[in-house]
Every structure is written in C-alpha cells, then in structure tokens.
Structure 1
C-alpha cells in the first residue's frame, strides 16, 4: 500500500471513488446524479490542489485532498475510499498521511464538512463538531468539524 500524488489523468477514477463511496451510505443513484457536480473531481482540481491517492493491489482505492482556506486554516476537502475498503483501516491510513503531510505548514486549524455517517470517524482523530450546513435533501445536515492544532 502506497500513497502517491494524484495526476490530472486520475480525475475519472477519483470521481468514481467519490460517487461509489457516497452511495455506500444508502443514497440512491438519482441522488448521486443530483450531486454529480459536487462529487466530480476535475483535472483542474487536481492541478490546483494537493490530492493524494491510496494505491493497494495496483489500483487506486481511495484519496484525499485539501486546500488552504486561510493562512492558518486548511480545509480537508475530500477523503474517500472505495466501499469494499471501508472499515478496513484504509481511511485511517489516508487521514494519518494527511495529518503528517500538513504538520510543517504553520496550520492552527483543520476544518471539514463531514458526511453524517463519517462524523464518528473524524471524531476519533480529535475533530469536534462546531456547526452544520443544510444540504439539498430536506432535513439533512452535514456536520462542520474542526481540529485545532497546537
């Protein structure tokens, strides 16, 4: 298992991973298509943001991406794993790599918008819920979480 910097030609597989991972939580194909613009990873996105792939068994099985929201705040924008790898420690590998990668960047805070079903995963790394944002589904909210770095 290795973690590699994504290249623009990875955009299609990363989009597939994102959609399949999101669908894992019980969302319909119709809902996934409604969200398609938010779940699509473009070549341009990979060219302008740090994106890292998790490769296992000679295939990309997950990835994460982030960007600087401000000088001292990083937003973890994506962290997705193919459904067959969920619950097997692959997300933890990605999160640990992300936290190591940003440790020398003078960051005071990491923020993210969590999938409701993944809130417990992020809490295990010390993230706390600080708010929520409404989604396109009635009465559905995404937890806004943050981790303060000392």
Structure 2
C-alpha cells in the first residue's frame, strides 16, 4: 500500500470536512458533544485554497489530511490532522505528520505546535511530540497541547 501526500484541492473540502466529522465520532464521544464541536469547525474550499492543506491518498482515494498554519515567526500550528477511521494503524497518520513537519521546516518554522484529541495523545508522544500544557475544554476535559522542534536532524520516531 503506497501512501502519497498531495496538496488538497478546494473541491476536496466537503470530503475533508466529512473526514473530520467521521473521525471525531469514531472515539465514542456523545453525539451532542460531536455536533457541538463540529459546529465550530468547517473545512471550506476557501480554507483549503488559502491554507497549507495536504491529503494522504491511497490508490487515488483520500485517506486523511492535515492543515498547517504559520503562527508567528518561528511556529507553525498543526490545525488539523485526521485519518479515516478504517485507515487508522496503516501509517496514514505517520505519513501526514512527517510531511507536516517537513512542510513546517520548509516554511521556516522552528517549532510545530498542536492541540490533540486525548485519544491521539499517545500517537503524538510516540512521534516525538512533547506535552507542554493543557487547554481547558468544557466538553472533554483538558486538551493536551504538544510541541515539537522542526529540523531535518530530528525526524519523528519510527
């Protein structure tokens, strides 16, 4: 199985948004929580065309995506990283995360930061992310915030 990372196209926006909805629902949160959370997140064609949004393709089908945003002079924020639930554990998340680090480096960032779903925290720790603080959430409890240094000599863990 070959995973190819491509720049997402504006016409992919609805599919990318559906991946967010499906992925968030995968973790067994109450449906009203998922709907409330999703109401604040919308992946639009404008968002895709004006941000660093890349998708993982397997055999021509999108299996996940990430979005990166410059946040100051030395930090890129990983705003999204979502994998279709049936593709979890197949290397899609690793491929997307590794590409995001490379892209952040290309953009001149020294660090990449992101908020993680608590169910994904172990994945990010395994990839080398450092838990730096928590962000309060009225729904799911504290949300862990991670940071990782971006450089070519510090690739993510395998």
TM-score under structure 2 normalisation? 0.87
Stretches of structure 2 that go unaligned for 5 or more consecutive residues are: 152-158
Correspondent of 1:62 among 47, 54, 64: 64
SS in 1 for 2:20: helix
Deviations 1:85-142 (A, max 9, x none): 11221100111111222323322111100111111111122211111111131x6111
SS in 1 for 2:40: helix
Please list, as runs of the form range in 1=range in 2, the aligned pairs for 1:1-150 lying within 5 A after superposition. Answer: 1-137=3-139, 140-149=141-150
State how far apart, in whole Å, the 2-side matches of 1:54 and 1:104 are.
19
TM-score under structure 1 normalisation? 0.92
CA contact (8 A) 1:17 1:80 kept: yes
Divergent runs of 4+, >4 A: none
State how far apart, in whole Å, the 2-side matches of 1:122 and 1:40 are.
24
CA contact (8 A) 1:75 1:110 kept: yes
State how far apart, in whole Å, the 1-side matches of 2:32 and 2:39 are.
13
